[in-house]
Amino acid sequence: MAVEIISPLSGGLRALREVQAPEQVTEAMDRPGGYRVSSAAFRPQSDGSVSVDLEESLVRSGLNARSRYPAMPRAVALVAHRVDAITARRATVLHVPVAGNPHHGEIRMAGMTKAQIRAAARSLADQCEILEAIDVDEVKRQSASQRSSLN
């Protein structure tokens, strides 16, 4: 069955990002649990995109924002931004379904300099809405596992 592409997206609904450990969280003693979302969680991949799920697609399918969490290995938190808050940072949000996930979307930062991308990633990390809090025990377990595999 073909998936209908949602365009334009509703600015009032959210883009949902699964945060993975250990690379997308960082220690922050001023935060509950001692960790915060790192800007690495919003740094574009080599193709220039940041993968997200789109609340609008989930809602249209009768699902809630948390229904796919956790869908990725090493996921330790679920965060969100309103689509209009992302586009206010000069990024775009697109509905890009992929095999096995008709709710997949992308944040794209095309036309931005490296400094602008870093600033946008930091801003997104600092201002995200936490839907599922960082699982501190899982972050520690995965960090320890990564350290032991390097030795």
- What confidence tens digit (pLDDT) does each residue in 4-49 have? 899 999 999 999 999 998 789 888 888 777 888 999 999 999 888 9
Q: Is 66 within a domain?
A: yes
Q: What is the pLDDT of residue 1?
A: 54
Cβ partners under 8 Å of residue 34, min gap 6: 27, 28, 136
Q: Is 62 within a domain?
A: yes
Query: Across the beta sheet with 104-108, what order do the strands follow?
Result: 92-95, 104-108, 49-54, 14-20, 75-82, 129-132
Q: Is 1 within a domain?
A: no
Q: What is the pLDDT of residue 151?
A: 64
Q: Is 112 within a domain?
A: yes
**pTM of the predicted structure, to 2 decimals:** 0.89
Q: Is 49 within a domain?
A: yes
Residue 18, strand partner residues: 78
Q: How many domains does the chain have?
A: 1
- Averaged confidence pLDDT in the chain: 90
Does residue 149 have a pLDDT over 90?
no
Q: Is 145 within a domain?
A: no
Domain range for 80 is 16-140
8 A C-beta contact, residue 109 and residue 54: no
Q: Is 134 within a domain?
A: yes
